[in-house]
A and B are shown apart, each in its own frame.
Chain A
Amino acid sequence: GDSVTQMEGPVTLSEEAFLTINCTYTATGYPSLFWYVQYPGEGLQLLLKATKADDKGSNKGFEATYRKETTSFHLEKGSVQVSDSAVYFCALSDFSNTGKLIFGQGTTLQVKP
């Protein structure tokens, strides 16, 4: 079945460092891909999405490009801030009638001043 694999965390960075969180997927067809963020004590918020190959999603300085050839959707940010500390989830939307989201296991990011 469809699945999403994220890099293991936690990831600890200093403020202004470059961030990459790897995400690869296995799916039939070409699903939509998402990054969700969960700040401490809160629910999930959609960070960015891409619905077809070569699309780039971007928001709040974060970017991810839908790479069909490598089945990847890596999250990047050029300069992280302490306020970016959160758990990041990569997800895909399947093609069933449900259209449910299939999530990776989540990657905790801690940014130190």
Chain B
Amino acid sequence: DVKVTQSSRYLVKRTGEKVFLECVQDMDHENMFWYRQDPGLGLRLIYFSYDVKMKEKGDIPEGYSVSREKKERFSLILESASTNQTSMYLCASRGQDRNTQYFGPGTRLTVL
């Protein structure tokens, strides 16, 4: 079974803090994604990585950056957290089958 794990299920941070969300997959997938989930908006793509050190902006990259130093790990970074970044963050990975993405359990981030 493909496993995608995220470092925290719940996280509470203060405005202005630097926040790291970690995602690890164990299937040697090349493609990894970070989505943000908000009520009434579904999921929106923040960033996408198609290989180590390779990344592309998604639909809502403002206020976020990413890091992919190793194939199995994809990190989402909030340089200076703001209250409007309070949300559920979901990581996903995809292998050769373009039609199947595997999701992690999500990190619910609250920024106070």
Query: Which residue numbers of A lie inside 8 Å of B, CB to CB?
Result: 4, 32, 34, 36, 41-46, 49, 51, 89, 91, 93, 97-101, 103-106
Contact = CB atoms under 8 A, between A and B. Distances in A.
Contacts, number: 58
Interface size range on B against A = 20 to 34
B98 A93 contact: yes
A98 B48 contact: yes
11 contacts: A32-B99, A43-B4, A43-B90, A43-B103, A44-B103, A51-B99, A99-B94, A99-B98, A101-B43, A101-B45, A103-B43
Contacts of B48: 98, 100
Taking each of A4, A43, A97, A99, which has the highest tally of chain B beta carbons within 10 Å of its own beta carbon?
A43
A49 B42 CA distance: 18
Nearest to A42: B105
B100 interface: yes
Contacts of B94: 99
B103 A100 contact: no
